[in-house]
Structure 1
């Protein structure tokens, strides 16, 4: 499992759009599995779940992205999972790290 969390200031919809573009353009095997959007007062929440097939180890990894915005204050959490192989032991070859790194780079470019 890999995890990245950060905060930034900006327009919620623009941040979501940039993250979706960067994640979606990261490879042809990256797929948006599902999404959820919710607004509670001034707070907006967006959840995205992606998966990607990695040929180097023949498995799929997932990326769960949560973005919470309150006015211009935005919190981003990205968690990558499932990039390992094996039944009893999870030997990861870094697929989760690769997926989370896409989000990290995208956020750093927006800052």
Structure 2
């Protein structure tokens, strides 16, 4: 499991779309599995689950992306899982880390763009 979190400022819908587009276009085998949206007053929450094939591990890896926003204040957390081939403990997390590393520059570039 690998995890990345970031506080930033921006447009919720624009940033969510940028994340989805970038993840899906960042890997030939990436797919959107499912998602959920919730709103309460000014607070919004979007959960997205993506999956892709990991050539390093020879299996599929998933990434859960959660974006919470209140106005222009945003918080993103992304957690990857899967990819290990062991029964009782994790041996190979390279596929998880690699999938997550596709998202980090997207977030960092967006953060710099709106600052």
Q: Secondary structure at the match of 2:52?
A: strand
Q: 2:13 matched to which residue of 1?
A: 13
Runs of 4+ in structure 1 displaced over 4 angstroms? none
Equivalence map 1:60-99=2 (5 Å): 60-99=60-99
Q: Secondary structure at the match of 1:17?
A: helix
Instruction: Spell out, residue by residue over 1:55-78, the C-alpha distance to the aligned partner (whole angstroms, 9 max, x if none).
Output: 232111110000000000000000
Aligned-partner Cα distance in 2 for 1:3–1:28? 22
Q: Which runs of 5+ in 1 are unaligned?
A: none
TM-score (norm 2): 0.91
Aligned-partner Cα distance in 1 for 2:19–2:40? 22
How far did 1:93 drift?
4.3
The structure richer in helix per residue is: 2
Aligned-partner Cα distance in 2 for 1:88–1:71? 43
Aligned-partner Cα distance in 2 for 1:38–1:27? 28
Q: Secondary structure at the match of 2:23?
A: helix
The aligned length equals: 111
TM-score (norm 1): 0.94
Q: Secondary structure at the match of 1:47?
A: strand
CA contact 2:56–2:94 (8 Å) conserved in 1: no
Q: CA RMSD in A?
A: 1.0
Aligned-partner Cα distance in 1 for 2:57–2:82? 12
How far did 1:94 drift?
0.8
